[in-house]
Amino acid sequence: MKRTFLIFACCLVFLQGCSSFDKWNSGGSKAKDQPKMSKKEMRNEIQKLKEDNQKLRGQVNRLEKQSDKSKQLGALAGKLKEETNQAKAEKSDLERRLSRLEEEKKALESKLTDLEMRKDQSKINISVLSGDGEIKPALETSSLLRQMGYPVKRVGLAPRPSFKNPTVFFTENYKPVADELVKILGKEAKSKPLTWSSVYDIIVVTGKKSE
């Protein structure tokens, strides 16, 4: 029985070995059956690899150029930003200068208006009347106005001595002059349009002095 079993086991081992040998032999045959690459095919393959390499180099060069352009654009953007900031600063400075020039212009125009007014003062007909029944206030006021450059053509008494405050009566177109005289006469003075016919452009009536 044991002998029969050993013979059977040896047969199995032998059969497995034969099967493995067939597989190895079959694999070797397949490797041998694969066709080898010819020299021409190898040259073509190498040429193809060179062309692919050149294409890759071209792509790399284009990317480098794009990178350089991006750097140049960045530098240009920075320069434009600096120029913009400088332009804004110059604009602000010009606006400040323009504002100062406008103020100086207004001041010069005011001086010119004052000079023109003083020049035309000699053509104004002014009468100074006392509004409290005494001639002295009218004389003092006329002297003050003459010192300021205003020509006083007549000094006298008002028809009624009941004016409490100095009053400047003015004809048409002489309100600016009347306003200037009010400033000279003080805060209690006031101006009114002349409602009756007169040869004078301005009539100044003094008021009673407060005790």
Q: What confidence score (pLDDT) does residue 149 get?
A: 85
Q: What confidence score (pLDDT) does residue 167 get?
A: 92
pTM equals 0.45
199 and 139 in a common domain: yes
Q: Considering 91, 121, 151, which residue would you say is the last residue of a domain?
A: 121
Q: Say how far apart CA 117 and CA 179 lie, in whole Å.
A: 12
130 and 173 in a common domain: yes
In sign, the C-alpha dihedral spanning 207, 208, 209, 211 is negative
pLDDT digits (tens, 9 = 90+) for 134-188: 999 999 999 999 998 888 999 999 988 888 889 999 998 899 899 999 999 888 8
* Range(s) of the domain holding residue 128: 124-205
| Torsion angles phi and psi, residue 35, rounded to 5 | -75, 140
Domain count across the chain: 2
Low-confidence ranges of the chain (pLDDT < 50): 2-3, 6, 10, 13-14, 17, 20-21, 24, 29-31, 211
Within-domain flag for 2? no
